[in-house]
């Protein structure tokens, strides 16, 4: 007569239920975090704006810290027609002066 067998099944059931509850709580947590991040993003760029407008608004919000935009002709003038190579690594050329 094996008395420990029903206890082992009950223990496995508890472990499975605890795991299921943990996964449910984590799924809810991820959903809430994603929803909040999405809401913050919509406050910054607006809900019904297109991609180009989003980029422009983002650049305006960053002010002097925003990335600078240059035309190809401006880059060519700034770098003296890309005459001097700064360096080269595993991913290609590092830049020109």
Same domain, 37 and 79: no
Same domain, 58 and 80: no
Same domain, 16 and 61: yes
Same domain, 56 and 29: yes
pTM (2 decimals)?
Answer: 0.36
Same domain, 56 and 87: no
Write out pLDDT tens, residues 51-75: 777 777 777 888 778 788 889 999 8
Same domain, 79 and 57: no
Task: Provide the domain count of the chain.
Answer: 2
DSSP-derived secondary structure for 25-47: HHHHHHHHHHHHHHHHHHHHH-T
Between 92 and 78, name the one with better pLDDT. Answer: 78
Structural domain containing residue 94: 67-97
**Lowest-confidence range among 10-14, 26-30, 58-62?**
58-62
Contact 86, 95 (CB under 8 A): yes
Same domain, 71 and 60: no
């Amino acid at each position: 007569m094996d008395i420990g067998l029903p206890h082992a099944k009950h223990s496995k059931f508890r472990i499975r239920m605890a795991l299921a509850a943990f996964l449910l709580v984590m799924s809810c947590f991820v959903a809430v975090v994603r929803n909040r991040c999405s809401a913050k993003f919509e406050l910054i760029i607006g809900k019904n704006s297109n991609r180009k407008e989003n980029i422009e608004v983002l650049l305006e919000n960053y002010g002097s810290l925003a990335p600078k935009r240059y035309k190809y002709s401006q880059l060519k003038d700034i770098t003296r027609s890309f005459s001097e190579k700064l360096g080269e690594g595993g991913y290609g050329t590092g830049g020109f002066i």
